[in-house]
Amino acid sequence: MASTKSRSPLTAVRALMDDYADRSVFRGFTAKPVRNAVAAFRMLWHRNRIFDLIVDTRKKTIHIPIVLPAVPSSSPLYRNFKAYVASHHAANLPDHRRIERSKARVRCANLCGNVSLTIDVRDADYTYALQRLILLVHEIFLIFLTDGPYWNYMVEHLGASAEIG
């Protein structure tokens, strides 16, 4: 694979998304045509849900509009989610899990109950930012939701089995 520094940001992002798809990180994957410095991808991922991912090189962001659906903004789930996301900038996290603030900054939002994640790319390393965002979403589904008191939420809104074990 060629150095990401010699490729355009969108070419590097597309190559990384293709790599994730080739390794079956996503079960279904499509890339939409690039328009106005924006690349959009759609993938079948956690809990067989469709996720959209939008890379905007003018805004220097990578955005997933709906990571978690049906989360009231005043709920403990959203409050804990925000804290979990923010904790990924902590210096005590291992390098492979930490999001370095000098390279990228992750933030979440809640619009009408749909929780989104956006990572602001601070040093033009879109590959780094995308890798960290994908890892964060992966951890949200495999650690945050399963280790917390969110089983009912997962059953009601994410298609988890009502039977434990």
Write the pLDDT tens digit of every residue in 3-43.
445 579 999 999 999 999 999 999 889 999 999 999 999 99
Residue 127 is predicted with a pLDDT of: 97
| Residues with Cβ within 8 Å of residue 106, at least 6 apart in sequence | 85, 88, 89, 99, 117, 118, 119, 120, 132, 133, 136
Contact by Cβ (8 Å): 31, 14 = yes
Instruction: Return the closest-CA partner of residue 39 out of 48, 47, 30.
Output: 30
Domain residue spans of the chain: 4-158
Residue 5 is predicted with a pLDDT of: 52
This prediction has a pTM of 0.92
Residue 87 is predicted with a pLDDT of: 97
- Residues (pLDDT < 50) of the chain are 1-4
Instruction: Return the closest-CA partner of residue 159 out of 85, 50, 76.
Output: 50
Contact by Cβ (8 Å): 68, 87 = no
Question: Which CATH code for domain 4-158?
Answer: 3.30.1460
Residue 164 is predicted with a pLDDT of: 63
Cα-based angle 41, 89, 9 (whole degrees, multiple of 5): 35
Residue 3 is predicted with a pLDDT of: 47
Residue 148 is predicted with a pLDDT of: 84
